[in-house]
Amino acid sequence: MGQAGSSTENFQKLQQQQKQLIPGLPDEIAMDCLVRVPSKFHSNMKLVCQSWRSLIMHASFYRERRRSGTAEHMVCLIQPLPTPSPPLQTESSGSDNEKSSEKEEGVDEKSSSRPPLVQHGLSIYNATHRTWHRMMRPCGASGQVRIPMFCQCVALPASGKILLLGGWDPNTLEPVPDVYVLDLISAGGAPWRRAAPMSVARSFFACGVVGQSTVYVAGGHDNQKNALQSAEVYDANADEWRRLPAMAEERDECQGLSWEGDSRFWVISGYNTESQGIFRSDGECYDPTTGSWSKIEEVWPYRSVSPRGLTTAVTSNSGCQWWWFLGSRQQQEQENGGGKELSHNSSNIMWKVVNSAQLPSGISGGTSVSVTALGLAKDGQLQRIFVMSSNGGGRGTGTTGGECEGEGAYILEREISNNSNGGSAAKWNNVHTPAGFSGFPYSASCLVI
């Protein structure tokens, strides 16, 4: 009888331990351990037990990572793939602390009689661990799907999803309405899925995330190269698109902006069908509370340059900012040159230059740049922006005179000041870029995991 009672107690204790995240530890301590595991091991952790799988596929786990300061900042980039394609797995090291992995899963390269078109891939730079890797491609009914050229890469940080929208079909070079979703948190064995398409096939359009799951698109051009006035909004949770009122102007190659805490969507510059390459100085703002667009005058001064790619919206403790990263020609038109920080007054929609920072020599000159905000660090006191230039894979001479795989990627860090004159001097940190990841990114966004 005593042995039976002891066995029952042991079985009940075993059951209780199995319910715990880590047997023998309180769940609070176990959670503190698990949130520290790097994201690259999360797929393996899902195989340990059902409780770990449920935890890692739940948004609360990633909220705790952000709260505890263990979340990882990832830059998602649409890049042309190197030709010939890199090996399935290679390692490249720039320093003891920087390691890179060039890995693409499920790549099926088939020979063709015609010269192959440039293919694109989704690359991810983990700014926390300073590693590079390439995500597997989405799959369709006929196998691997080529990522559209010039598609927009949009991150939904709250749900851990990356959206690829529109662009050109890599075979026909025609605009497409396609939308692909990569779920890095809750997906099972198939992280990619094809989402509801846009109502209009478009490319080179404005795009922005408002709130946690709402994505706005506007402008761009259709398959006849006609500039578009149309706009629509996507609900990522419902997987549904809804058409919006048209903008007042056609806007091809326009820039979309949105800020945390602001429910509006901004579309800056662009050009109409009859004035290709001559960029407008104005913009338009969509307010969902009124369901209408309003015009904003004199916000972009460069008639021959698009704000796409070389500007980014930044939300900080000091308000809404719009950073410009200007080439040498535009710098000559500005007194200080380099990166421009502007802030806007949300009630009056007025803009003013509040700060500037000189670009490093590796991305100055006539090169194009692609930028995206990395978010805040150090309890919201450090502002960070990822910048990559079109000479990211070029050779350079360092202090030792050796050859560099890539000198064109940097992270700008600037401490946030509470006064109105901006923060302290900017600090540029070089990002080691292996040759396989040095292609110029056509679109970039940041995801916190």
Q: What is the reported pLDDT for 137?
A: 77
* Encoded tokens for 301: 């001064």
Q: Quick one: 444 exposed, middle or buried, by C-beta within 10 A (0-12, 13-18, 19+)?
A: buried
Q: Which residues of the chain have pLDDT under 70?
A: 1-18, 84-116, 139-144, 187-190, 317-318, 327-355, 364-367, 376-381, 391-407, 416-425
Rounded distance, CA 166 to CA 199, Å? 11
Q: What is the reported pLDDT for 158?
A: 82
Q: CB of 339 within 8 A of CB of 412?
A: yes
Q: Is 62 left (phi over 0), alpha (psi -120 to 50) or beta?
A: alpha
Look at residues 252, 241, 177, 245 and name the one whose alpha carbon lies nearest to residue 219. 252
Q: What is the reported pLDDT for 82?
A: 81
* Encoded tokens for 428: 């540029």
Q: What is the reported pLDDT for 292?
A: 96
Q: What is the reported pLDDT for 94?
A: 40
Question: Residue by residue, what is the 3-state secondary structure of 134-147?
Answer: ECCCCEECCEECCC
CA dihedral 44, 46, 47, 49 (to 10 degrees): 140
Residues contacting residue 381 through CB under 8 Å, at least 6 positions apart: 317, 415, 416
CB environment 278-287: b (16+ within 10 A), e (fewer): ebbebbbbbe
**The dihedral of CA 213, 410, 385, 353: what is its sign?**
negative
Q: Which CA distances in Å does 150 have to 139, 175, 372? A: 19, 9, 16
